Each structure stands twice: as C-alpha cells, then as structure tokens.
Chains A and B, each alone.
Chain A
C-alpha cells in the first residue's frame, strides 16, 4: 500500500477553509466583523500586558475548574475516610473534604490541577491589582474609560468573592475557620445580621447547606457574571482603543502599535502559553493549601496561622488591628465595634476606589477624551494618593499575618499590632508626602533636561577658569515626549461679585472643589512644564552652557 496517490486538484475549486469562511460570512457577516476588528491596533508596552495576565489566568481557572468539578462532591454529609492518604484513615469528614482528598491522591493529575487552580487564583487577583495600579497611575480611567474602570472594579470584587467561595469548598479546618469568621462578620451587622446569617446558612452554623450553596455560587453564578463582564470589558477596550504613552507620532487621536491580527494575536497566544507555563511550573513545585494535613472542619477545633487567602488579608488585618470594643445597648443588644468598624471600612474603601474616576472628572471639569496614558510623575497628587493607599493596604496585610511574622522573626505580636495600628494612619501620610516630592523632583528634572539638555558627564574648563559640565541638547523626539502632556490648572472661584456688583452665590461644594483642585494642581503640586518661548530663549544662545 505504498503507492503514492496523486490528488489532482482542480484549479478553480476553493480550499475547504475558504469555503467554510464563505459559508459563515454569508450567514453571520463574519467578514465585515473581522475586517473591522482584525486591524485594531495594540500598543507595545509591558504594562499593557498586565490585563492579559488576568485574562489568561481566568481562562486557566475555568479550564482547571471544570476538571475539578467532575470529581468534587459538594456535600456536607459525613463519611469515614478510606482513601489512600494514611494519616487520615478512618477520620470522619464531609464528602466535600473526602472528595478533595480523593482529587489530591486518587484522581489522575488531580493534585496538580488543584494546585494550578489555586495558584492561578492567587495570581489572577495579584494580576488584577497590578492591572488596576497601571490604569490608576497612568490616568487611563479618564474619559471615556470610566465605565470600563467600573467593569474592572466589579471584576476585582467578584474575583475576591469567587476566591472566598472557592477556598471554602474543600471544607477543611482552615477554610471552615474562614467561614466561621464570615459568619461572625455577618452577625456583627446591626439588626439584619442574624437574619442574613440564618438565611445564608439555612439555620445554625455550620448546618448542611453552606458548601452546596458556595459551590453553585463558585462554579456557576460568579464565573458566569465574570465571563460576561470580561467580554464587556474587552469589547469596550476595542471600542475605545487602547491608550498609549505620548511620543512622536503618538497623539491623542491615534494608536501606534501592532495590528491585532496577525502580529498581536500571535504574541498574545504565545503569552498565554507562557503564563500557563509559569503557573503550571509553580503548581508542580510548590504546595498550595495542603488540605490533607489541615484536617476536616469541626467547629470545636481551631489552629493558629489561620488566615484567608491573601486577597482577603486586608480585611483580616483590619480586624486584627481594631481593638475589640463592644457596647451592650439597652435591650441587651451587643454592638461589636471590633468587627463592625473594620467591616464597614472594607467596602467603604472599595467604593472610594470605584468612584475615583468620577471624583477626578468632577474635580477637573474636564470633558475632553483622553487617549494618552499619563506618566505618574505628571500627576503627583494622584500618584501620591495611590501610593498612600497601597501603603495602608500593605500595613493591613502585615497586620493580617501578625502571628506568622511574630514567630518567624521572633517579634512580639503585640508590638507588631501596635506598629500597624499607628502605621495605618501615619505611614500613608508620610508616603503621600514623599511620593509627591519625588514626582515633583522628577518633573523638575524633566524641565531641566528639556531646557538645558542632558548631562553628559564631560567637564569643560572655561577660559576664565570656571569648570562646567557640558549639556547635550535632547533630540527632538525626546523633547516632544517630555512636553506632550498638558497640565491641569487649578480651579478658580471666579469674581466675588457679578457684573451688577451683587455678591455671587457660590455653593459650598464648589468652594470645596476649588480647594481640592488647588491641592491637586496648584503651584506646590506641579512644576510648570517648559513653554516653547522659554525653550527658544534659552537655546537661542544667551550664554547658557
């Protein structure tokens, strides 16, 4: 059977691929859709790939999650363990926990997939935070992208709650302690707490409903909503086009980069496999959530070092920092401030983050569209606020792990808690001041460079003996890049009286706006960028070196 069969292709016939494409085009208008989007341009900058890290880890989560769903049993019925992990033999546990042990030890590839799923979850949320920071610090949330900021922000919150419901599923002692914590948090809500608790758990803690309910929320409800939001997020990106950093030929009205197809797509595909590879390599070498040694959840047991996954460490830290104040008000109701206040701060901070773009557009009254990503130094107050927030967040994270630091660095847990309590208020202020100064310093340096050129390190001796360093003028492209941004002016209150000499009424809100605006864009908050007159005057050779 080795006779080679020549297949005589008739020249006129189109290849199969083209025929399918034709068929599809005739029915769903694929061609025009593809034509419109295939040549979308994506700029090259590594920080624009952070969002892709999120997208790819989300895809990895779905793929591995589907595999886990095939073997996981979301039930709280008690069984005796007889699987292959010896140190749990004969222990009574829920089917959820038993099936997680089975996935880990008796399902082919189960442990690796579990570890990929969990590492991808951690990295997913880290990626989201980095991505948000990129958008925040470059001002890419400004008009027209406020809605997309909100989409991303919602995705962030949903990711955190998907993670919470996910790591609770195995019903091990650690995650059960987390659910217990959550129950306590719900109960601390005045008036509605007990009702919500009873509704969510279907009775007293722990009941038999919480794992099956979390399962549905985790594998169906939240990922479903997130998938829709991710799609909407991407569609808006395509619709708005990507922002890019200013440069010669890179203006507010264009995007310079690579076309979506084929170059960008090829790069993105490669990047997907690299992300998958990195996560798989981590999952293959480093343990995550070794539920087999944690034991099944029992309400009468607890362990030290019980923390939530890192993305909820912020709330854990707030609770650990907060003194355990409580009041018993007449009628015998207890107000537990130790939980209530931190758990009000948590959503409060989230809301502030979500609303920030609207705050800034209210502040600047700027109605123009912005497609140029700002350099963080050119928005010193915003950058300072962002860094201050990150520092507060970091302090809360440290406080959330206070016992782990205490043991590993031989410190007193009380000392750590007090440093965090004070630091939570003091460090962000310090960070704000320092960051703003650094930004202003960088702005000043940019101004110097534009007006006087780059320091070459070459020292010249002038005829009268003075030593000067030779400055080399910047190339035109660099000059453009350094001066392309526009600077906001601080808002003015306007004249006190109108044209008839009558005192003008200015609302307190407007007064506040002017005040904040001065703080953001006033003299102490930005260095005026060089004007072309200044540049021309200096470079026209008035004895400047």
Chain B
C-alpha cells in the first residue's frame, strides 16, 4: 500500500490511471455490447422507418393520409401494427386498386424487405400487434383437435366447418383458408381484416391460435387426407346434391336407356 501511495504522484501515474480506465471501459464495452447493438438496431430501425415512409408516401398515402391518419378513401393506420401491414400487403390486398365490397387479393407488388419497411413505418405511428415469430404459428406444435373446437366456436360461422369460405352480405365474403400461409392466418386473427373481428391474445391466447392453425393444417391443405375420396369442394349437401342429380342420376339414366334398348326383339336377323 505504501508503495502505491508513494508512487501516486509519479509523473506517469496519470498515464497508468488512464490506461486502467480505458481497460475498464473496454471491459464494460464488451459486457454491455447488446446495449450498443440495440443502438445499432435502433438506427437500422429508424432507417427502415425512413425507407418505409418513402414507400408509404408513394403507394399508400393517397388513401391512408400522409401521416397514416386516414382519409375518405382509407381507414386510419394508427395503431394497426406491423402485423396488419404484413398481412394486408403480403397477401396482395394492399395497395387497394379499386373500391369494391372488400379488398381483393392481387399479386403482391412489394418485396418482403419492402413490406418489412412499410410495416416498420406503420408500427411507428402507434403501438399495435407485431409480426409473430415463426414458433408462434408452426402448425406442427399445435393441438388440431382443440383447434377444431376453437375454430367451430370462433370462425366457422363465416369461414365454414373446415375453412372452405363463406358468403357475407352484399358481395363480401370470408375467403377460403386453403393455401393461406400460417403466418397470415395468425396475423388475420390478431388484426381482424375488413369485416372479420380481431382476436387479440386476451380473448384467444397465443397457443389457441396455434391450435387453430394446426386444425386448418390437418383438414384444409392440399395434402390433408381425404379418407372418403373426392371432397366435392367441402361445401356439404349443396355440392353433394348437385353431384347426385348430375353424375348419379345421369349415369343411372344412361344405364336405363341402355337396358331399355336391349329388348329381345331388337335382335334383327
């Protein structure tokens, strides 16, 4: 101790302290690196928001207003969250082309990177649901049986038993859910597009959303099993009745005509 106190006033002491301080800062820097990454991310984020705003101003502001406040041609986007943008633009609904009963699904016009930027910008306008992690909508992690019950309770009144789609009033419709990416199923539930109600986690917890996705995966994809044979569209008695009248009765009448013509006197010698 004495030595240290003696050399305290050594001309190089200041330098040593400086070195030590630098080392300590370096160590601190190393341990606190995430904070800095966050800072870097934050700047990337602000870059994305900036880019997103540019895209937004060109493609969306005419309807949704220059600051997302909405206009007579489109609703306000404040608080709809990144999930809504990812869903609306990723399924080709937005940008809207022509007014109709409901936004049409068109070919997607933005790259996923651009969609992320748009989403970042809209998310910056107000807090809202964010784009879910893949683990949240992985169908294989859900319980299809429970999902089926939840689907029949919450969704089938509009989308049909297995999500084959159903009509709403005045040309609106709840679309068929085959071939919808699980991510969009999840996002549709949290954001509630058009006349669909939204199902926030407070009413439909995350695991239950996953169960619903598992159910749809089990019964309504191109490779879900169809033990009974041709599915006839899954529309139930209407398509079955049509089939019975056309193919069923058609085949039987053809057989009847054939048998009716096969009379004993038909053999001409």
Contacts and interface: CB of A to CB of B under 8 A. Distances in A.
Interface string B120-134: 000000000000000
A300 interface: yes
Contact of A275 (B160, B237, B252): B252
A295 B241 contact: no
Interface stretch (A277-285, A338-346, A449-457, A498-506): A277-285
Interface string A50-72: 10110000000000000000000
A305 B166 contact: yes
A52 B240 CA distance: 22
A332 to B, nearest CB: 30
B156 A286 contact: no
Interface residues of B, number: 64
Contacts, number: 209
Contact of B261 (A46, A104, A289, A411): A46
A87 B218 contact: yes
Interface of chain B: mostly helix, strand, loop or mixed: helix
Nearest to A292: B227
Nearest to B245: A126
Interface in B179-216: 215
A310 interface: yes
Nearest to B151: A295
Contact of A282 (B156, B248, B255): B248
A406 interface: yes
A293 B162 contact: yes
A174 B251 CA distance: 28
A302 interface: yes
A115 interface: yes
Interface in B203-239: 215, 218-219, 226-239
A412 B170 contact: yes
A123 B156 contact: no
B152 A295 contact: yes
Interface in A372-405: 397, 400-404
Contacts of A88: 145, 148
Given A111-B228, A308-B237, A413-B167, A278 B159 contact: no
A123 B249 contact: yes
Contacts of A322: none
A305 B226 contact: no
B161 interface: yes
Contacts of B12: none
Interface string A23-61: 000000000000000000000111111101100000000
B171 interface: yes
B31 interface: no
B49 interface: no
B72 interface: no
B15 interface: no
Contacts of A10: none
A289 B240 contact: yes
Contacts of A403: 166-167
B50 interface: no
Nearest to B152: A301
B203 to A, nearest CB: 15
Contacts of B170: 412-414
Contacts of B257: 46
B260 to A, nearest CB: 3
Given A123-B248, A305-B160, A48 B260 contact: yes
Contact of B159 (A50, A279, A282, A304): A304
Interface of A: 44-50, 52-53, 86-91, 104-105, 111, 115, 119, 122-123, 126-127, 130, 173-174, 258, 263, 267, 270-271, 274-275, 278-279, 282, 284-290, 292-295, 298, 300-311, 313, 397, 400-404, 406-408, 410-415
17 contacts: A44-B263, A46-B253, A46-B261, A47-B256, A87-B145, A87-B219, A115-B228, A287-B227, A287-B231, A294-B161, A304-B167, A309-B240, A310-B237, A310-B241, A311-B241, A413-B169, A414-B169
Given A305-B235, A310-B245, 4 more contacts: A115-B229, A397-B241, A406-B173, A412-B170
